[in-house]
Amino acid sequence: MIPEGPRLGGDPSAFRLKGTPIVTIMIGSMLPILPIIAQTPILPPLGLLLLLSWRLLRPELLPAWIALPLGLFDDILSGQPLGSAMCLWTLTMIGIDMAERRLIWRDYWQDWLIAAIAVIFCLTGGLWFARLTGGGGSLPLVAPQIIWSILLYPFVARQCAWLDRWRIMA
């Protein structure tokens, strides 16, 4: 479905322009309130995937520090130790900024590669933080989650692009 075209003279509201990415990332972080009693980490980190999608789609939209409050929100809902996503997501954002200075030409495959590295970093880092605070588990436990999060990234990026069209159209 293609969103409606722009109306002449119309201007999207400031909240819609600035707030859409943040609101969608927060909704993505709220995935664990679904009534699924999981025995293994099965749900993909949708908040992180949406953050990566928005960041790679619109580099000028989200500053690096925005990952702090969004990470805190994700931590409160995900059950990870508080501060885990705050730290990992912010480091990811800084890492993407650094990578962007090196890369001259960009295409879809590079975005996917960057997102894959970010997902691996955040999920293994999350596992490490969970182990620090008394949890357990090893890398094979999060491997399936990492794989399907990476495979899910193109779909999420596509939805972000669709939302982005709606965002800038009045």
Partner 1 sequence: MARPPSRRPGYDRKAQYGLFASYVVAVSGALAGLLLVIVATFDPTGFAVIRATVAEITRPASITMRQLVSGFGTIDEQIVAYFRAGSQNAALRRQVDTNRTRLIEAAAIEQENIRLKKLLQLVEAEDGEVVAARLISSTGGSTRRIARLAAGRAQGAYPGMPVRAPEGLIGRILTAGPNTADVLLLTDSQNIIPVRRARDNIAGIATGQDDGSLEVRSLNAGNNPFRPGDIMVTSGTGGLYRPNIPVAIIVRSDGDKAIAVPLANPARVEAVIVQRPYEATVTPVGSPSPTESPPSASPTPASPAPASPASPSPAP
Could you list the residues that contact partner 1 (CB under 8 A)? 30-46, 58-60, 63-65, 67-68, 71, 76-88, 90-91, 93-94, 97, 100-101, 103-108, 126-127, 129-137, 141-142, 145
**Which H or E element spans position 119?**
helix 108-132
Q: Both tokens of residue 145?
A: 């989650």
Amino acid at 117: I
Amino acid at 100: E
19 vs 83 by CB, closer to partner 1? 83
User: How near is the Cβ of 80 to partner 1 at its closest, in Å?
Assistant: 5
Answer whether 71's CB lies under 8 Å from 88's CB.
Answer: yes
Residue 129, Cα to own-chain centre: how many angstroms?
A: 19
Q: What is the DSSP string of 78-98?
A: H-SPTTHHHHHHHHHHHHHHH
4 vs 162 by CB, closer to partner 1? 162
12 vs 100 by CB, closer to partner 1? 100
4 vs 132 by CB, closer to partner 1? 132
How far apart CA 38 and CA 96 sit, in angstroms, is 32
User: How near is the Cβ of 113 to partner 1 at its closest, in Å?
Assistant: 15
